[in-house]
Chains A and B, each alone.
Chain A
Amino acid sequence: GQQLNQSPQSMFIQEGEDVSMNCTSSSIFNTWLWYKQDPGEGPVLLIALYKAGELTSNGRLTAQFGITRKDSFLNISASIPSDVGIYFCAGQTGTYKYIFGTGTRLKVLA
């Protein structure tokens, strides 16, 4: 099935550092979403973006909907150990389906 490309695939960072990850697609989406998934659990919504160019924050997280509507990025500032997990982007199609990205695995070193 179709997937969105996320980079980096994985990253190790020191606690307190800022993190940036992005997601690109060959298709246009009307809605971009960012999720975090902990092992053995379902994904949890972090940020939803509804308009091209939109920049939205949720605590230490900031995400932007690219103006081409084919990409999005997520930043995490001042990372803490509980930020560890897998981050997925998702694009929503016109029929409300979600196409998920390949995921970015984040590990935070205390």
Chain B
Amino acid sequence: GAVVSQHPSWVICKSGTSVKIECRSLDFQATTMFWYRQFPKQSLMLMATSNEGSKATYEQGVEKDKFLINHASLTLSTLTVTSAHPEDSSFYICSALTSGSNEQFFGPGTRLTVL
């Protein structure tokens, strides 16, 4: 149980385009999901907290207009990187919070490369 999937697993796009990444909790409902970004050889850095039916909460220094988060259902959160630039190239990982144990379960990550 507690499986989280991400789609796509990797994506390459041109600079200036927008990219949407999906995060799904497959066998449980998650009112809260989290989005992390991980640059090469670095740790996971929390970008934002995604709450079902309400606006996401962004960490300091993360531009909410650039990283659009939508959590329209209890099993799906999406992260859209708008007007992507090469410096947005990174590994994006989501997690879903279970209501019972308050534990986060992580997705397999999405590798974004912006040319």
Contact = CB atoms under 8 A, between A and B. Distances in A.
Interface of A: 1, 3, 35, 40-45, 48, 88, 92, 95-103
Given A48-B103, A96-B97, A96-B102, A42 B43 contact: no
8 contacts: A1-B60, A43-B106, A48-B103, A92-B102, A96-B97, A96-B102, A97-B49, A98-B34
B104 interface: yes
B61 interface: yes
B93 interface: yes
Contacts of B104: 96, 98
A96 to B, nearest CB: 6
Given A41-B108, A96-B102, A103-B43, A1 B34 contact: no
Contacts of A41: 108-109
Contacts of A48: 103
Nearest to B43: A100
Contacts of B105: 45
B44 A43 contact: yes
Interface in B32-52: 32, 34, 42-46, 49
Contacts of B32: 96
B42 to A, nearest CB: 8
Contacts of B49: 95, 97
B107 A42 contact: yes
A29 B39 CA distance: 25
B47 to A, nearest CB: 9
Interface in B86-111: 91, 93, 95, 97, 102-109, 111
B59 interface: yes
A19 to B, nearest CB: 19
